[in-house]
Chains A and B, each alone.
Chain A
Amino acid sequence: MVEICIIYDKVRFEEKALYDKALEKGLKAQMVDAKTITVSTDSKKSDLALGDVIMQRSVSHYRGLYLTACLEFLDYPVINKFNVAETCGNKLVTSLVLAKSGIPTPRTQFAFSADSAMDVILKTGLPLVLKPIVGSWGRGVFPLRDEETANMIVEMREENDSPLARIYYVQEMIDRPPRDVRCIVVGDRLVTAIYRYSAENEWRTNVARGGKAELAPITKELEDLALRAAKAVGGGIVGVDLMEDKAKGLVVHEVNNTVEFRGAASVSVADIPGAMVDYAVSIARK
């Protein structure tokens, strides 16, 4: 019997849903707190007893990423793989991978100093969007609508202690309806797609920001793009986020590697955790 190990640092709706689903399917399952695991260069797989396949669900990107590196060192199959987590956890790398794979994505410029960031911003013209390259739930994502605001925000970033704050990710502002599309891809299957609407007085669409979810129709184009984007970052279980550009059509702007699906589960008839658990079993049997 396959044993699934769900690694968490904070138990959310998603981790409970995965655990319950695994038990419901008659599998063995365990939940392990990432904060309690230690690994050494001498460690053996059998020292940890983490089952046959690991679902890495840490909320902290770096904790999940480097713990996954350690678990892969011990030959555990981990969903998602280190390489996938590394790509998806960094918006700059994701944009490069998407563009390289010919997947429509918002035009994004990268600058490596405040001066060059301001040059790019003024040359391109406003409005634009400045995003941190790591971090999410829409935090630190700022619309730049006038030069004064742009100057202020770039200055703020300069004063930030994190070296990552000095990497500037400047994206075109997509002319879109007040929603985006979140696709949940599991392996080579698009399990469900939802629209995420911005909350009132909020331009970002993250459910974590109070955004509302609604079922989105799965068109051939949406399915094709979501699956291609998932494949481009290395596959596994991912959330592909798209926007509907009024001129260019669908563009992929982000791929999430520890996908939250509470919003999607509240409107979708698809068995999202069921699809994820089945996929984990298929990986364990490989």
Chain B
Amino acid sequence: MKTKVECQECGADISIPEDAVVGEIVTCPDCGGDYEIATKANEKVELKPAETVGEDWGQ
């Protein structure tokens, strides 16, 4: 079963893929807010707002 977490911005449900790991970024389907998976244990997932993409990001 897919875990759902409530978006801290807009309250929509964000689905967490089963194979998601801590540190991965998930995006709210409604408001587009980006979150980093802070902790994940079984079906319990906690999110924190993701870091903003910096000027020096990427390859």
Chain A residues near B (Cβ < 8 Å) = 8-11, 15-16, 31, 33, 35, 59-62, 89, 132, 134-137, 139, 162, 208, 239, 256-260
Interface string of B6-41 (1 = CB under 8 A from A): 000000000000000111110000000000100000
Q: Of B23, B55, B56, which contacts A10 at CB under 8 A? A: B23
State the main secondary structure of chain B at its contact with A. loop
Other A-B contacts than A31-B23, A132-B55, A134-B56, 13 sampled, CB-CB below 8 A, are A10-B23, A10-B25, A16-B24, A33-B23, A35-B51, A59-B57, A62-B56, A89-B56, A136-B59, A137-B59, A256-B59, A257-B59, A260-B58
Nearest CB of chain A from residue B51's CB, rounded to whole Å: 7
A-B contact pairs, 7 of them (CB 8 A): A10-B23, A10-B36, A60-B54, A135-B55, A139-B58, A162-B55, A260-B59
Residue on A nearest B37 in the bound complex, by CB: A11
- Set of chain A residues within 8 Å of B45, measured between Cβ atoms: none
Question: How many contacting A-B pairs (Cβ < 8 A)?
Answer: 56
Q: Of A8, A31, A137, which contacts B58 at CB under 8 A? A: A137
Give the size category of B's interface with A: 10 to 19
**Given A9-B51, A10-B36, A10-B51, also A136-B24 (CB < 8 A):** no
Q: Of B22, B58, B59, which contacts A11 at CB under 8 A? A: B22
- Counting chain A CB atoms within 10 Å of each CB, the highest count among B24, B25, B56 belongs to B56
- Set of chain B residues within 8 Å of A132, measured between Cβ atoms: 55
- Counting chain B CB atoms within 10 Å of each CB, the highest count among A10, A31, A239, A259 belongs to A10
Chain B residues near A (Cβ < 8 Å) = 21-25, 36, 50-51, 54-59
Residue on B nearest A9 in the bound complex, by CB: B51
Nearest CB of chain B from residue A89's CB, rounded to whole Å: 8
Nearest CB of chain A from residue B37's CB, rounded to whole Å: 8
Q: Evaluate contact between B21 and A11: CB separation under 8 angstroms.
A: yes
Nearest CB of chain A from residue B55's CB, rounded to whole Å: 5
A81 to B58 CA separation, bound complex (whole angstroms): 18
Q: Evaluate contact between B57 and A137: CB separation under 8 angstroms.
A: yes
**Given A10-B36, A10-B50, also A59-B58 (CB < 8 A):** yes
- Counting chain A CB atoms within 10 Å of each CB, the highest count among B21, B24, B54, B55 belongs to B55
Nearest CB of chain A from residue B58's CB, rounded to whole Å: 4
A136 to B50 CA separation, bound complex (whole angstroms): 19
A59 to B57 CA separation, bound complex (whole angstroms): 5
- Set of chain A residues within 8 Å of B25, measured between Cβ atoms: 10-11
- Set of chain A residues within 8 Å of B55, measured between Cβ atoms: 132, 134-135, 139, 162
Residue on B nearest A160 in the bound complex, by CB: B55
A239 to B58 CA separation, bound complex (whole angstroms): 12
A15 to B23 CA separation, bound complex (whole angstroms): 10
Q: Evaluate contact between B59 and A8: CB separation under 8 angstroms.
A: no
- Counting chain A CB atoms within 10 Å of each CB, the highest count among B22, B50, B57 belongs to B57
**Given A9-B51, A10-B36, A10-B50, also A61-B23 (CB < 8 A):** no
